[in-house]
Amino acid sequence: MRKPFFLALALLLLIPGSNRGQTTGVKKRRPLPYEYGRVILNSYSERSALAPVVFDHWRHRAKFTCRVCHVDIGFAMKAGATGINAADNMRGYYCGSCHNGKMVFDGTTVFAACSKTLTAEDQSRCERCHAHGSSEKDDSDFIRFSQGLPKERFGNGLDWQRAEELGLIHPVDFVSGISIKRKSLTIQQDFALNPKLAGMPDIIFSHKKHTIWHGCELCHPEIFVGVKRGATHYSMVSIFEGKNCGVCHNTVAFPLMDCQRCHSKPVQAEAKE
């Protein structure tokens, strides 16, 4: 009577992934510096017999603030949620807001994103964006770009904030014909947030550092409800799930593994009686 039981148990143990106590999680490969922030767009590409689009944030964040693209132009903050297509680009929306063959940036005419024709020249231009599986692995552009910029440990391996402070990059916050002129708002002072884990350094949050890239409307009210401190309740669990701070940190801004970038206030030693 016991033989069938042991036979079934032996077969179960031979099936991959059936071992008791075996974890099902798979540790992802840490992206290389030039891959960090990369987004693969494939809403319509493969349906049209084109390779998916490879979008590298580092190419654009040195030239434009995040607010220009995600507020003025209207790109969603989640990859694939915008539903970009060639027709919209040709009408001057989304990528076509700048990639229209007319806009001049830094003395160079920005190439057009999409075209109704398909000449050899057009195909070559298409492949600049529809590059998944080909030139996306080429890091030579990033190496040339990153030379001379201050370095960091994680993400792109670049300290973007320091690069902006030193004037090594000049992200544009206004695109003619798209952006509207706004009055500058009073920037709140830096403040400390108490961690929930005892012994962990306090979080120092700087509105100044964030408003340079985001303005106010990128974070409020969609990511953080209201503007009053404490109005939004979040935790490291929700942040790791891609909410609140995790919308940007872990995807484009420096990743969450760089704990000391946020938890930067030294722990005060308790006074002894």
The residue extents of the domains of the chain are 38-146, 182-268
Three-state DSSP class for residue 161: helix
CA atoms of 150 and 168, how far apart (whole Å): 9
pLDDT at 173: 94
Tokens of 237: 């669990």
Q: In this predicted structure, what is the pLDDT of residue 59?
A: 94
CA angle 250, 254, 257 (to 5 degrees): 65
What local confidence, expressed as pLDDT, does residue 7 receive? 40
pLDDT at 24: 57
Q: Using alpha carbons only, what angle is made at residue 175 by residues 99 and 54, rounded to the nearest 5 degrees?
A: 35
**pLDDT on residue 137:** 60
Please tell me if the domain spanning 38-146 has the same topology as the one spanning 182-268: yes
pLDDT for position 187: 84
Spatial contact of 73 and 67, defined as CB atoms under 8 Å apart:
no
What gap in Å lies between CA 145 and CA 160, rounded to an integer? 12
Per-residue pLDDT of the chain (273 residues; tens, 9 = 90+): 444 433 443 433 344 444 444 555 677 788 999 999 999 999 999 998 899 999 999 999 999 999 999 999 999 999 889 999 999 999 999 999 999 999 999 899 999 988 887 777 778 888 889 999 875 567 889 999 999 999 999 999 999 999 999 999 999 999 999 999 888 878 888 998 888 888 889 999 999 999 999 999 899 988 998 777 777 888 999 999 999 999 999 899 999 999 999 998 876 655 444
The pLDDT value given to residue 60: 95
Contact 266, 204 (CB under 8 A): no
pLDDT at residue 19 in the model: 45
Torsion sign over Cα 15, 19, 24, 27: negative
Q: What is the SS3 assignment for 113?
A: coil
CA distance 53 to 4: 54
CATH architecture of 38-146: Alpha-Beta Complex (3.90)
Homologous superfamily (CATH) of 182-268 is Cytochrome C3 (3.90.10.10)
